[in-house]
Amino acid sequence: MEHHAVDLSQTDEILSKYPAEEASLIQVLQDVQRSYRFLPADALVRVADTLQVPLAKVFSVSTFYKAFALEPQGETIIKICMGTACHIRGAGQLVEELQRKLGVGPDETTDDMKFTVKTVNCVGACAMAPVMIVGDSYHGAAKPARIEKYLGLGEAENDN
Amino acid sequence: MTIESMAQFEELRSQAGARHEGSEGEILVCCGTGCLANGSREVAESLSKELRDRNINGRIIKTTGCHGFCERGPLVAFVPAGVLYTKVKPATVPEVVEKTIEKGEIIQRLLYKNPANGEKIEQYSEIPFYKNQKRIAMRNIGEIDPTDILDAVARGAYEGLAKALFEMSPEEVLEQVEISGLRGRGGAGFNTGRKWRSCRDAEGDRRFVICNGDEGDPGAFKDRSIMEGDPHSVIEGMILGAYAVGAHEGYIYVRDEYPLAITNLQTAIEQAHAFGMLGENIFGSGFDFEIRISRGGGAFVCGESSALMQSIAGKVGEPRAKYIHSTDKGLFDLPTVLNNVETWATVGAIISNGGEWFAAMGTEKSKGTKAFSLVGKVKNTGLIELEMGTTLRHIIFDIGGGVLKDRPFKAVQTGGPSGGCLPESMLDEPVDYEGLTAAGSMMGSGGMIVMDDRTCMVDVARYFLNFLVEESCGKCTPCREGLKQLLHLFDDLVEGRGTEETIENIERTCAAMKLGSLCELGKSAPNPVLSTLRYFRSEYEAHVRDKACPAGICRELTAYRILPESCDGCHACTRVCPVGCISGDRKELHVIDHEACISCGACFDVCPQQAIVTFPKIELALKEVQ
Ligand SMILES: Cc1cc2nc3c(=O)[nH]c(=O)nc-3n(C[C@H](O)[C@H](O)[C@H](O)COP(=O)(O)O)c2cc1C
Ligand code: SF4
Ligand code: SF4
Ligand code: FES
């Protein structure tokens, strides 16, 4: 794992908002993830010290939950739903098309750090399967042929 | 105003109801996640703007939670006229305002068209998708603005709470829930009253109530819609539960993937505080209760009760053995009641209307109504709530409108990764907990995924194994290793290396996992495999014996070709083929280059002439030999 130097004042600010106890760990890590877009190693050490939780435990929680990433993520996260409804309506073709267009597969980030591709298991919009989320925009009935549009515009549009 | 008596609560309710008196009606714009994705926020905004620009007053625009009919969104409904417009776009709004609002004309084009007979349906309540429903847990969703507590109160929210705190003892509340026969809506169907009583009887002075909003089953989204569309029903249920068992602290555990649910719950909790429904001395009764929200970290296993409690405590979500009951030792090892979102959302209605009212609905052992998300290859996808005991056929064909593109029905998957796939012969079975379990599936979170003849059952079983390999927490060996082995065996099947022995090994591994796994995730993981083996064995045999995938889905076994007599050379297929392996001039016969084809099926899905067909790939090899 590469070492990424970061400014820890954000971590301290987050930690100051929660009681210094183990029960705060996941909520703190979620805020840290949101703030840096990943969990920097130095921040994990600071969290472990402050909450008085062994570093190994912090690391085990960081790797157990899918919401956390230990490597820097792209500016925009692309999520492709692989839930059952999306699977049987062709979600796999979306992943393949992204691989062709961006050259990266699930859990990978493009070299220019623009996009990280992720697969998720159901985002609760199954009625519009298959679903692809670019940043904060949901695209229902997503089609491989429209992927460039989804990536370029990055805003909701009507597909019907 | 502070509320300290039933009369004051009634007063609040009539004030809330009177807020819009004298208005000329409401315009409801669905802003559930589904409709938002289709641009409903923009529709609501341009409606406001258009009304302002034209100086039309007296109309109230309300953004609501999910109406359920997600497929047709954005949905706009007019109250009291009862008219529903579907697929409304921001660009259509001026026309809607001019014709429908100013002149009272109905725009035919925006009405729902009944696919069964092509008729346009004007009234919301006459659309088969809605007409056949009975809504209790979802009683206010789509009717109220979820960010406005008074709107909820005007429609009956917190009425059950007022009744309980002003007129009933905790014991009486518990009794009503027992009489109702309510069972957990999160999967296993445990009796809610019994669970509450165990917790109430447990030793200790500190206890908790928790709402399970993890909703991990892929294909299910009822809990999301309830939390987003009527968070007050969940909060009211939790306060009632806490009152009944003597808890003063509650948690709502929400999936990380549901940001809107978290926002709406937070708003609702703040507003409930402001009106004295949460906090100290609720409604002057002396009862105190607080709710906190805990965001999940994205792990399916955290929906399991003991793993969820570990996760709230900041730990890795690993389940523990079942013999320790969380009603005795739950969160922080203290007595805890955990219920599903829909279970909590039902409680307020039971207290308002009485346990007998609820128990009068449903089947002998499964009372009341149940929410389902109807998705997959079905015409009307969306969210529904029906009386227990409704048949699958009624759900899929009458409410769902039948299979997409009128293709043949093959199976319906219920119960998520713990459930199974039921074939056509089971369609007339009434849906309740016992019925689905006997059929080899599960109620689960109420996801119903309809599958047509273009769905391979071996692929579906493999899909769930792949899902669970990722999601198994890894604590116990039968589940962690069993799933990996099963996935290997299924890879053999879908890639043409399967033998009779593969199927035997699959069955043996399943039996070992059922016996040896620690938690229900591992114990129930074989269900998708065993149910497909039970009902669709011939499909497995075709993969093994003929090296063929009858549905034409497993890519290693499937090839595509174009029927010369049907192709009219429209070029649709060449445009979608990702590897450009289809050639042919416009209006001439097209052909697929089998060497380059990756069997993705994209062309199959778009051909308007149905000229593209699948055949077993092995035939290509046989031809070469000849
Ligand atoms: C692997 C696994 C995942 C589960 N996921 C959920 C879930 O997402 N939501 C839920 O309400 N219950 C889930 N459950 C069931 C819970 O353990 C628990 O039984 C339920 O929340 C109790 O509430 P109820 O009695 O109201 O159904 C899951 C169980 C298992 C074994
Ligand atoms: S889409 Fe169908 S009809 Fe059109 S060219 Fe392709 S095979 Fe022929
Ligand atoms: S299956 Fe895919 S690769 Fe093969 S011809 Fe059709 S579109 Fe092209
Ligand atoms: S299965 Fe994809 S959103 Fe639910």
- Give the tens place of pLDDT for each residue, B409-466: 999 999 999 999 999 999 998 999 999 999 889 998 889 999 999 999 999 999 999 9
- Whether residues A129 and B376 touch (CB distance < 8 A) is answered with yes
User: In this model, does residue A160 exceed pLDDT 80?
Assistant: no
Would you call B37 an interface residue with chain A, using a CB distance cutoff of 8 Å?
Answer: yes
Domain-embedded: residue B148: no
Give the mean pLDDT of B285-314: 93
**H helices of B58-204, where?**
93-95, 103, 128-131, 149-154, 159-167, 170-180, 192-201
Domain-embedded: residue B432: yes
What confidence tier does B574 reach under pLDDT thresholds 50, 70, 90? very high
Residues B376 and B433 reside in one and the same domain: yes
Q: Average pLDDT over chain B, rounded to whole?
A: 93
Tens-digit pLDDT profile for residues B536-562: 999 999 999 999 999 999 999 999 999
Tokens for B117, please give them: 């007979």
- Asked whether the whole model's pTM tops 0.90, one would answer yes
Q: Average pLDDT over chain A, rounded to whole?
A: 89
- CATH label of the domain that carries residue B516: 1.20.1440.230
The three-point CA angle B16-B17-B18 to 5° equals 95
- CATH label of the domain that carries residue B613: 3.30.70.20
What confidence tier does B20 reach under pLDDT thresholds 50, 70, 90? confident
Whether ligand 2 lies within 6 angstroms of the CB of B106 is answered as no
Residues B328 and B205 reside in one and the same domain: yes
Would you call B571 an interface residue with chain A, using a CB distance cutoff of 8 Å?
Answer: no
Each domain of chain A, given as residue ranges in start order, spans: 9-64, 76-158
- CATH label of the domain that carries residue B335: 3.40.50.11540
Residues B100 and B225 reside in one and the same domain: no
From B56, B57, B54, B65, select the one nearest B28 (Cα to Cα).
B65
Domain-embedded: residue B134: no
From B384, B444, B341, B362, select the one nearest B180 (Cα to Cα).
B362
| Best B223, B375, B558, B604 residue to mutate vs chain A (most A CBs within 10 Å) | B375
Amino acid at B598: I
Tens-digit pLDDT profile for residues B41-66: 999 999 999 999 998 888 889 999 98
Q: Which is more confident, B257 or B464?
A: B464
Which of these ranges, A119-128, B224-233, B240-249, B612-621, has the smallest mean pLDDT?
Answer: A119-128
Number of domain units in chain B: 5
User: In this model, does residue B603 exceed pLDDT 60?
Assistant: yes
Nearest-CA residue for ligand 2 atom 1 is: B607
Going from the Cα of A129 to the center of ligand 3, the distance in angstroms, rounded, reads: 21
Q: What is the pLDDT of residue A104?
A: 94
Q: Which of B87, B373, B451 sits opposite A126 (nearest CB)?
A: B373
Tens-digit pLDDT profile for residues B66-92: 888 887 889 999 988 889 999 999 999
* CATH fold of A76-158: Glutaredoxin (3.40.30)
Residues B177 and B310 reside in one and the same domain: yes
From B266, B393, B148, B528, select the one nearest B140 (Cα to Cα).
B148
- Residue that finishes a domain, picked among B529, B546, B563: B546
From B107, B180, B194, B84, select the one nearest B137 (Cα to Cα).
B180
Task: Give the domain range for residue B611.
Answer: 555-625
Give the mean pLDDT of B312-332: 89
Residues B443 and B510 reside in one and the same domain: no
Tens-digit pLDDT profile for residues B265-277: 999 999 999 999 9
User: In this model, does residue A85 exceed pLDDT 80?
Assistant: yes
Q: Secondary structure of B472-516 in the HEC alphabet?
A: CCCCCHHHHHHHHHHHHHHHHHHCCCCCHHHHHHHHHHHHHHHHH
Residues B189 and B265 reside in one and the same domain: yes
Q: Which of A124, A127, A137 sits opposite B381 (nearest CB)?
A: A127
Give the mean pLDDT of B102-113: 91
Taking a C-beta distance cutoff of 8 angstroms, is the pair A116, A106 a contact?
no
% of chain B beyond a pLDDT of 70: 100
Residues B28 and B163 reside in one and the same domain: no
Give the mean pLDDT of B186-203: 94
Ramachandran class of B590: left when φ > 0, alpha when ψ lies in -120 to 50, beta otherwise: beta
Residues B91 and B227 reside in one and the same domain: no
Nearest-CA residue for ligand 3 atom 4 is: B597
What confidence tier does B350 reach under pLDDT thresholds 50, 70, 90? very high
% of chain B beyond a pLDDT of 90: 79
d(CA B365, CA B139): 23
Which of these ranges, A73-77, B37-41, B307-311, B380-384, has the smallest mean pLDDT?
Answer: B37-41
Q: What is the pLDDT of residue B1?
A: 65
Tens-digit pLDDT profile for residues A32-46: 999 999 999 999 999
Facing residues of B367 across strands? B362
Domain-embedded: residue B145: no
Q: What is the pLDDT of residue A70?
A: 93
d(CA A159, CA B75): 15
In total, chain A counts a number of residues equal to 160
Whether ligand 4 lies within 6 angstroms of the CB of B526 is answered as no
Mutate to test the pocket of ligand 2, among B574, B585, B607 (most ligand atoms within 8 A of CB): B607
Nearest-CA residue for ligand 1 atom 20 is: B186
CA distances in angstroms from B184 to A80, B195, B343, B444, B452, listed in the order given: 31, 10, 6, 10, 31
Residues B385 and B438 reside in one and the same domain: yes
